[in-house]
Structure 1
């Protein structure tokens, strides 16, 4: 199994104005993980290494990632990853699962973000 994760984000909006908003130059259009470095590609075509903030939340169907460029503390973005089934998803289910696993286990088994389960001790 390859360690590379390629997760293009596909807008599933039905309204033209919302779909065009999701294609803006500053919108995250793809997340790529290669050699333990997460990269975000934007609608402008630019790609930057990003860090995932601890405020991010993971669940099997919905993940809210707060990301920011690794060379800055500013300009954080919220990326919504949804997989509610064939009619309502913006990510490939297998790549989405692999990304969530990497986020939970992190580098050297150090968690990068919190799980949404409130019953577990953190």
Structure 2
């Protein structure tokens, strides 16, 4: 029997991915082919987003405008970010990227506290190994 490699996700990534899958289904029904490709990237250093999808640009972005669908993508991503940050804004989001293309999903989501927890776990493991 061959071994299957599992894709491991953090709890945060799994929650974001679950929400993203449901939202992509909605967008595909609502916007059709425009939702065939979706990419959302959050840049924590300037608290900004980059979004792209399967829509033709048609010069819209050059005029400092956006399409209704891209605005919807931004609104959804912004709400997800606020949810990750917590009601009291106590969590720092260090990574938040999502993609959908060719019926495949990608996700990266991380909080600063998760990185600290991993570092603590590694230190504890090293101490136990002594």
TM-score normalised per structure 1: 0.28
**Bigger relative contact order, structure 1 or 2, given CA contacts below 8 A and separation 6+?**
2
Bigger radius of gyration among the two: 2
TM-score, normalising length: structure 2: 0.27
Question: Which structure is higher in strand share?
Answer: 1
Which structure carries more helix by proportion? 2
